Chain A
Amino acid sequence: MTDAIDTPEDKTLADLPSPKGPHDLLAKFKPLIREREALLATGVRDPFAIVMSEVKSPTLAVIQGKDTILLGTYNYMGMTFDPDVIAAGKDALDRFGSGTTGSRVLNGTYQGHKECEDALKEFYGTEHAIVFSTGYQANLGVISTLAGKGDYIILDADSHASIYDGCWLGNAEIVRFRHNSVEDLDKRLGRLPKEAGKLVVLEGVYSMFGDIAPLPEMVAVAKKHGAMILCDEAHGMGFFGPNGRGVYEELGCEKDVDFVVGTFSKSVGTVGGFCVSNHPDFEVLRLVCRPYVFTASLPPSVVATAAASIRKLMHAGDKRAHLWKNSKRLHQGLRDLGYKIATETAQSAIIAVMLPDQEAAVALWQALLEGGLYVNLARPPATPAGTYLLRCSLCAEHSDEQVGQIIDIFAAAGRAVGCIG
């Protein structure tokens, strides 16, 4: 009863002879290899092998020689081409070189890493901030270190892979509850030993369906049972809440969330991860958190771009408003065309179009690409409930005209492949 590796269902294919003989360790992936071969044999493009030969702006790239509107990035606030951000990166590259070649705890902490952490503390209004090399590593490190042997991690069933992997890296007992179910969380916390340490892991926005968590209710339940709370705001940073801190700010849970994890690879527009907290002993994580200690720190140019971007995001009210307008308009537009969307309303900047099976999803995905629009194809095991999704994520830099074009391309492609009337 484990779901460590989910490969496609046709188990008979696993018995086919392997090119490397009976002890081929890659043989277990044969069902997946065959499934992909069968799919590509139908003539469709490989959805997981897209190359962008040129990127013209946060919303436009060249794919196979064709200008393509990007509707599948996490560049929510469109910061990747911001002139101040670029200038900060170039300056740091000139002054500090291309990389640190060292761990944060040895030779890998430069002025820029401290400035980036200062920017985060200011942005989040917290006492402490620790920068990791990716968002994945931030979850891996913080979760595996906070909850040790004998402690319990209680997580939402739809949690991101980095949260699950953080659980497996540590020694805590792992309990999951049904997605966004306050009652289920309450019940499970109630069955745990009273004296045990407990960490409830939540996400502000769940990235597959783009739905948000009922954080006030969940936080109240977690506190009632004496649990600490970690909230991942990867997909909420930048445009939820008065200061853009995330869903937990928007819903008024700032006092009760003990740790906020986030990433630079979405609204911030570069790469890296972080955790912020007001816990007085938070800094000890720098010494005991393996994914922080045993990896190279971010290059100086990356932390410089991150710091510049974070500071600009503090004053990005107009961009936020435009992003929300885009998201609501696309949600309504796609519904009007007859598409099934994973959420009743636009809850975040992710609009997930639900398709009945892989064939329909890939056919529509390809038709959209040929029409000049890139979206993300998502399939199990990344998706909940075995669903096939075309995930659209909007950007504050999508113009009104582009959103109109996007809806037009969805109309033409959907009719061409027969998934709308």
Chain B
Amino acid sequence: MTQTDEIFERVAEQIEPFNKKGVELSQATTFAGDLEWDSLTVMDFVAAIEDEFDILITMNMQAEIETVGQLVETIRKLQADR
């Protein structure tokens, strides 16, 4: 399993409790469009991701992230920077 795959698996686990519609997840899945999350769900989810990976995803970064793949890539970079 590559590093990206491993991060994806862990992200998918965090998405699960918020995935009310049981949407099939891929790198291309969008948070607003496919998962239909509102800002409050996003807030809770980001907090969960931050705690899972012990990182910070600032609101400035969040504004640029639309897909699961983009989130995985952001996490990979943040972990590499440490």
Contacts and interface: CB of A to CB of B under 8 A. Distances in A.
Contacts of A167: 59
A35 B69 CA distance: 34
B59 A157 contact: no
B63 interface: yes
Interface string A1-40: 1111010010000000000000000000000000000000
Nearest to B62: A1
B39 A3 contact: yes
A197 interface: no
A381 B39 CA distance: 9
Interface stretch (A47-55, A186-194, A233-241): A186-194
A173 B43 contact: no
Interface stretch (A174-182, A276-284, A310-318, A354-362): A174-182
A1 to B, nearest CB: 4
Interface stretch (B3-11, B17-25, B49-57): B49-57
Contacts of B66: 1
B40 A384 contact: yes
Contacts of B63: 1-2, 4
A362 B71 CA distance: 39
B60 to A, nearest CB: 6
A386 B58 CA distance: 23
B28 interface: no
B15 interface: no
Interface of A: 1-4, 6, 9, 152, 157, 167, 173-178, 184, 187-188, 191-192, 380-381, 384-386
Interface of B: 31-32, 36, 38-40, 42-43, 46-47, 50-51, 54-56, 58-60, 62-63, 65-66, 71
B40 A174 contact: no
A353 B53 CA distance: 38
Nearest to A5: B39
B62 A2 contact: yes
Contacts of B56: 175, 188, 191-192
Given A4-B63, A177-B47, 11 more contacts: A6-B38, A6-B39, A152-B58, A173-B58, A173-B60, A174-B58, A174-B60, A175-B56, A188-B56, A191-B54, A385-B40
A195 to B, nearest CB: 15
A31 to B, nearest CB: 13
Contacts of B39: 2-3, 6, 381
13 contacts: A1-B42, A1-B62, A1-B71, A2-B42, A2-B59, A3-B43, A9-B36, A152-B58, A174-B59, A175-B59, A191-B55, A192-B56, A381-B39
Contacts of B32: 1
Nearest to A178: B47
Contacts of A6: 38-39
Contacts of A188: 50, 56
Contacts of A380: 38
A21 to B, nearest CB: 25
B40 A386 contact: yes
A176 B61 CA distance: 12
B66 to A, nearest CB: 7
Given A173-B58, A174-B58, A191-B56, A1 B46 contact: yes
Contacts of B40: 384-386
Given A176-B43, A191-B54, A381-B39, A1 B60 contact: no
A157 B43 contact: yes
A156 to B, nearest CB: 11
Nearest to B44: A178
Contacts of B65: 1
Contacts of B46: 1
A188 B54 CA distance: 9
A150 B43 CA distance: 23
Contacts of A157: 43
A346 B82 CA distance: 45
